[in-house]
Amino acid sequence: MSEEAVFTVQNLIKTYPGQTKAIDGVSFSLHPGECVGLIGESGSGKSTLARCILMMEKLNSGQMWFQGRELLQPRFGSSYRVFEGQVQAVFQNPASSLNPRLRIIDSVMEPLDNLKNRTPVIVQDCRKNRLKCAERLLDMVELPSDLLNQYPHELSGGQKQRVAIARAISSEPSLIIMDEPTSSLDMITQAQIIEMLMKLQKNIGFACLFISHDLATIQRMSDQIMVIQQGRVIDHFAKEALFSSERHAYTQSLVHKYAKRRS
Ligand code: ADP
Ligand code: MG
C-alpha cells in the first residue's frame, strides 16, 4: 500500500512476572481506513496486545508510531493525549467504557467535550448545541434520542455497546482498537452491530484493529487478517487469501473448524 501508515508497531514484547511472553515480537501497520482483524484462541494475547497498544499497560520493549510520530512511554498516563481523541477503544464489556453514574448523554459526549483544538466533521454543524450533537451521535449508532437521559443500567447489552461505539466515534478518531466488541451479545445483535460498524468505518474513515476469536466476524469486518498464537503473529494475509492452501497449519485448523460449523 502506498499511503503512509496511520499506526505502526514493531517488535512489541510484553512479559508478565513469572510467565513466558504474553506478547512476543508483534509487528504490523494499519493504513488509513483499513481494518485489520486479529484472531486467536483464548489466552493467545489479544487483549494484552490491545492494552499495550492503548498504553494501558507498559511494554517490556518495542516501538510504536502514530501518524508518523513515535509514541514514547510516559511515566504516567498515555502519550496519545497530545493527539486529542484520535485514538479510541471499544471493549467486550460495555460496562468498562461507560461510567454507571453518568447519563448516556454525558458518556457519549465526554471525548467531544474534551476536544480543544479540533472540531470533528461529523458534528461540525451542531458543535455549539450539545444536545443536538448527542442526538446526532446516537442516530449514527441507530439508537433513539430518548435514551440520552437514561443511565447505563437501564439499557440492554446491545444498546450499551452502541453507546460505547457512539462515544468512541464522537471525537472522530483515525484509529479505533476494538477488543471483542460483539462477543458478549446474542448472534442477531452481533450481526447488526457488525453491519453498523462497517458503515461507520466507511463514512468516518477510521482505521481499526478488530479483535475477535470468531472467524466469521473477522472475515466480515476485516481487510487483512492476523492470526495470533502464544503471543506471536504466525500468519498475516489479505482476507481474500483466507482459504488459500499456503496458510499456516494453525490458520488452516481455524478455517477447518469454521467451515465445519457453517455446514
Ligand atoms: P486473550 O485476550 O487472547 O484471551 P490475554 O491477552 O487476556 O488473551 O492473555 C494472554 C496471556 O497473558 C494469558 O496467559 C493470560 O493468563 C496472561 N495475562 C493476561 N493479563 C494478565 C495479567 N494482568 N497478569 C498476569 N498475566 C496476565
Ligand atoms: Mg481477550
253-263 tens-digit pLDDT: 999 888 888 77
Name, in order, each residue with C-beta under 8 angstroms of 8's C-beta and a sequence gap of 6 or more.
28, 29, 30, 64, 65
pLDDT tier for residue 46 given thresholds of 50, 70 and 90 = very high
Specify the pLDDT at position 48: 97
Residue 168: closest CA among 231, 228, 98: 98
pLDDT of residue 259: 85
* For residue 117, pLDDT beyond 90: no
pLDDT reported for residue 205: 96
DSSP bridge pairs for 224: 36, 238
Amino acid at 182: T
Per residue in 157-211, pLDDT (tens digit) is 999 999 999 999 999 999 999 999 999 999 999 999 999 999 999 999 999 999 9
Of the candidates 256, 257, 227, 253, the residue with the CA atom closest to the CA atom of residue 239? 227
Sorting pLDDT into bands at 50, 70 and 90, what band is 73?
Answer: confident
Contacts of 141 (CB under 8 A, 6+ apart): 162, 163, 165, 166, 169, 196, 200
Work out whether strand 7-15 and strand 21-30 pair parallel, antiparallel, or are unpaired.
Answer: antiparallel
Above 80 in pLDDT, residue 54?
A: yes
Say how many Å lie between the CA of residue 84 and the centre of ligand 1. 29
Distance from the CA of 48 to the center of ligand 1, in angstroms?
6
State what percent of residues in the chain have pLDDT above 70.
Answer: 99
CATH fold label, 1-86+173-182+206-263: Rossmann fold (3.40.50)
Q: Is the distance from the beta carbon of residue 22 to the nearest atom of ligand 1 less than 6 Å?
A: yes
State residue 144's pLDDT score.
98
d(CA 21, CA 124): 45
Domain spans of the chain, in order of start = 1-86+173-182+206-263, 93-172
* Atom number of ligand 1 nearest to Cα 41: 3
Mutate to test the pocket of ligand 1, among 21, 48, 183 (most ligand atoms within 8 A of CB): 48
Cell numbers given for 108: 457519549
Q: Average pLDDT, whole number, for the chain?
A: 93
Cα 21 from Cα 15, distance rounded (Å) = 4
Which residue owns the Cα nearest ligand 1 atom 13? 43
Q: Is the pLDDT of residue 24 over 60?
A: yes
Question: Which amino acid residue places its CA nearest to atom 20 of ligand 1?
Answer: 48
